[in-house]
Structures are given as structure tokens and as C-alpha cells.
């Protein structure tokens, strides 16, 4: 038993943090610990599932998840465009996260040591010296094979970026909102999902006319479905880009994570990380996109090039619980355009100053 002198000076703070965890978080931790011990007894091994990251020429945001998988599916995939297809659909939610796993990240000749969070998610920023464009970094743990992750390094001269929602913006959901996450996660795979007409063409035209533009997909979906969403975007010819998702389950102070807070936080973060970029914000009128984008446009007008909102069909709007009205969002200097599909939005992009 350690003496008091051997204890970390932060030990009282750690103990207090554990005591003050939300009851749901403590229950979740206990369940995950039990599942982890059982999986290890079965011989499951850790697997690092890499996600697409982004950064500048001096830093990179590394995104990945560490989970336990049976030995037969533990080997990493070599194709960087196709995250491990054997961890998909409902299986992605039965995968067991490796809580606070120690992970190393190799960027060029430099190796960084980082740590996953309670959900096994790695979301850290490390220093880097990388050229603009698509680059690769390597991740691993002490007992896993290294895997490669793609990262998009934004050119310092870039002045325009795209942030797009996913559900009902690039992918048709057409379900009552309470069932969207469950259906998309547990029932459908990427072959059964339907792209929103014209949205891939609109985003592709933007990237063609602005070759250095970063495209970032900001969704309230869980990290568990990142491989499936990545395959969907690739299969339907959407521009490659990082997915910024969230983690399901309780936090230290609440039963469920706030999807709205997740979006608001990442919008501000991107504005701070790339102070010279103005963002084209793409969403739909069936969730809170208009309200969130409107508030962000009012708060950070210098960071918004415009807002493009896909209008849901009457049937989609009913399932989504109604649609917002154009005058309901917060007033801002940014210009807004509305259309039912990507072709309509593309026709109106000329109304924006995207230079």
C-alpha cells in the first residue's frame, strides 16, 4: 500500500473528480470495466480505428478510437479510404472502448504520447511540420499494430472553408428524430443510405473552384458510426474531409451529451484555429442548424461567408418535427440561401462572395 509521500499531488483532485461524476457516468464506467475484463479473458485485443484529422502546417488534430475486438478482426486495414469494415453497424456499438488508452502518434520523425478519453476516443492536437494537402500520420499502442490516418493540412493562404451537417443535409434520413440515431446505427449500412440529390455535386464544384478549401462534416452522430459515414461519403462522391462527431453516453455532469453544444463548440473552435478563413455553413431546416448557424454568424460575422440551408420536403419536415422559418434564426450580416436540394443551392451560390 503506497505511503502518502508516494501519492501524486493531484490524487485528492482525482478522487474528488470521481466522487463528483454524474451517477450515470459512474454506472457507465462500472459496466464498461466489467465488459472490458470479460473481453480480455476471451482474448480480445486492442485495435486503433483511425479517423480523418486536419490541421495547419504547424499542428494537427488527431482523431481515432481505441476498442477491443476479437483477434480475427484485430488486424488494421491498409486502405486509408476504408476504415475497418468489420467494425460496422450495430457491431460498432457493441465494441468495447479501451478507457484512457495510452496511444502514440507519429507525425513525420516526431512521436507523441497521448491518451484516449473515457469512450476510447483520441481527440488531441499535436505539433507538426507538414506540407499543405493530404498527409498521413501513424498511430498505435504498445500492444497493437500501427495504423495510418489521413489528415488534411490547410494551406496558410486558404481563405474559404466548408462546414456541413450530415443528417438530412448530405444524407436523407426521413425518420422521426427520436429514431434517427438508432435506425442509422443499428439497421442501415452505407449501401442502404440515400444521398440528398445534388449535394455531392454542389460540394464537389466548390472544391474544384477552390482547390485548397477544407470540407468538414460536423454532425451530432456518435464516433461509433464514423467508418460507416466515411464509406457513405466516399461511395456517393462527396469530397473527402474530417468528420467531427461526438460520443454517446453520459458525461461527468449529465445523462446525455448535448449535440447542440457539440456543434457550437466546434464552430467556435474552427474559427479560432483558422482565424483567416470564412466558412460556408451548410445545413437543413429540420433541426437546429438555422438557429446554431444564425447565432454563430451573429457572434463571429467575420468568419462566415454565407449560410446554405437545404429545405426538407413536407414529408421530411413532418418526421423531423416541423421546419424552421427563415426569419426565426438570429439576425446576422451573413447572406442566407435556401433550396430543396444541392442543385438549387448550387444555382444560388453566386450570391455569395466566395473569393
Task: Report how far residue 135's alpha carbon sits from residue 149's, in angstroms, rounded to the nearest whole number.
Answer: 8
Q: Which of 135, 153, 171 is the last residue of a domain?
A: 153
Mean predicted confidence (pLDDT) in 40-51: 80
The DSSP output letter for 58 is: S
Q: Which of 136, 153, 170 is the last residue of a domain?
A: 153
- Identify the CATH number of the domain in which residue 327 sits: 3.40.50.1000
Supply 1's cell numbers.
Answer: 500500500
Residue 251 has pLDDT above 80, yes or no: no
End-to-end CA gap in the chain: 65
289-299 and 259-273 helices, crossing angle to 10°: 30
Residue 285 has pLDDT above 60, yes or no: yes
In this structure, the strands spanning 53-55 and 110-115 are unpaired
Query: What residue numbers bound the domain in which 68 lies?
Result: 44-153
Query: Measuring CA to CA, which residue among 48, 53, 54, 60 is closest to residue 108?
Result: 60
Average the pLDDT over each of 4-18, 83-97, 196-210, 318-332 and give the range with the smallest value. Answer: 4-18
Q: Are residues 204 and 290 in the same domain?
A: yes
Mean predicted confidence (pLDDT) in 217-245: 92
Tell me what pLDDT residue 26 has: 63
Q: Looking at 152-300, list the stretches that DSSP marks H as alpha helix, in order from N- to C-terminal side.
A: 177-182, 199-209, 226-235, 259-273, 289-299
In this structure, the strands spanning 121-127 and 133-140 are unpaired
Quickly state the pLDDT bin for 175 (edges 50, 70, 90). low
Bridge partners (DSSP) listed for residue 65: 49, 121
Helix (H, G, I), strand (E, B) or coil at 348: helix
Task: Compute φ and ψ for 78, nearest 5 degrees.
Answer: -95, -20
Task: Report how far residue 205's alpha carbon sits from residue 211's, in angstroms, rounded to the nearest whole number.
Answer: 10
Residue 2 placed within a domain: no
Output the pTM of the full model: 0.81
Number of structural domains (the chain) is 2
Residue 128 placed within a domain: yes
- Identify the CATH number of the domain in which residue 110 sits: 2.60.40
More confident residue, 287 or 22: 287
Average the pLDDT over each of 17-31, 59-73, 277-291, 326-340 and give the range with the smallest value. Answer: 17-31
Evaluate whether 63 touches 123 at the Cβ level (below 8 Å): yes
Helix (H, G, I), strand (E, B) or coil at 88: coil
Q: Which of 96, 131, 153 is the last residue of a domain?
A: 153
Query: Measuring CA to CA, which residue among 253, 251, 331 is closest to residue 291?
Result: 331
Residue 311 placed within a domain: yes
Residue 323 placed within a domain: yes
Tens digits of residue pLDDT in 291-309: 999 999 999 999 999 999 9
Evaluate whether 338 touches 309 at the Cβ level (below 8 Å): yes
Q: Are residues 138 and 196 in the same domain?
A: no
Residue keyed to cell 439576425: 331
Quickly state the pLDDT bin for 334 (edges 50, 70, 90). confident
Mean predicted confidence (pLDDT) in 235-254: 78
Mean predicted confidence (pLDDT) in 75-94: 47
Amino acid at each position: 500500500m503506497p505511503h502518502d509521500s508516494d501519492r501524486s499531488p493531484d490524487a485528492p483532485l482525482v478522487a474528488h473528480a470521481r466522487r463528483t461524476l454524474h451517477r450515470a457516468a459512474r454506472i457507465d464506467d462500472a459496466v464498461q470495466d466489467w465488459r472490458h475484463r470479460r473481453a480480455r479473458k476471451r482474448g480480445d485485443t486492442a485495435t486503433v480505428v483511425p479517423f480523418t484529422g486536419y490541421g495547419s502546417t504547424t499542428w494537427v488534430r488527431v482523431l481515432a478510437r481505441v476498442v477491443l475486438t476479437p483477434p480475427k478482426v484485430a488486424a488494421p486495414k491498409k486502405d486509408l479510404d476504408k476504415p475497418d469494415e468489420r467494425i460496422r453497424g450495430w457491431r460498432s456499438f457493441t465494441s468495447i472502448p479501451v478507457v484512457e488508452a495510452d496511444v502514440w502518434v507519429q507525425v513525420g520523425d516526431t512521436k507523441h504520447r497521448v491518451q484516449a478519453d473515457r469512450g476510447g476516443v483520441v481527440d488531441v492536437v499535436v505539433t507538426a511540420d507538414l506540407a499543405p494537402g493530404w498527409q498521413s500520420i501513424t498511430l498505435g499502442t504498445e500492444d497493437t499494430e500501427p495504423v495510418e490516418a489521413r489528415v488534411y493540412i490547410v494551406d496558410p493562404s486558404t481563405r474559404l472553408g466548408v462546414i456541413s451537417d450530415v443528417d438530412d443535409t448530405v444524407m436523407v434520413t426521413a425518420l422521426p428524430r427520436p429514431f434517427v440515431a438508432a435506425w442509422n446505427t443499428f439497421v442501415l449500412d452505407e449501401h442502404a443510405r440515400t444521398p440528398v440529390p445534388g449535394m455531392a455535386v454542389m460540394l464537389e464544384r466548390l472544391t474544384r473552384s477552390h482547390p485548397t478549401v477544407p470540407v468538414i462534416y460536423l454532425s451530432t452522430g456518435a464516433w461509433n458510426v464514423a467508418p460507416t459515414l466515411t464509406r457513405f461519403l466516399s461511395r456517393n462522391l462527396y469530397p473527402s474531409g474530417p468528420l467531427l462527431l461526438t460520443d454517446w453516453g453520459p458525461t461527468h455532469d449529465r445523462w446525455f451529451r448535448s449535440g447542440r453544444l457539440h456543434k457550437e463548440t466546434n464552430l467556435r473552435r474552427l474559427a479560432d484555429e483558422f482565424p483567416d478563413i470564412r466558412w460556408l455553413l451548410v445545413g437543413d431546416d429540420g433541426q437546429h442548424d438555422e438557429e446554431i448557424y444564425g447565432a454563430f454568424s451573429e457572434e463571429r460575422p467575420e468568419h462566415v461567408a454565407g449560410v446554405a440551408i437545404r429545405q426538407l420536403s413536407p414529408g421530411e419536415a413532418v418526421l423531423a418535427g416541423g421546419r424552421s422559418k427563415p426569419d426565426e434564426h438570429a439576425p446576422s450580416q451573413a447572406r442566407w440561401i435556401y433550396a430543396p436540394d444541392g442543385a438549387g443551392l448550387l444555382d444560388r451560390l453566386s450570391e455569395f462572395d466566395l473569393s
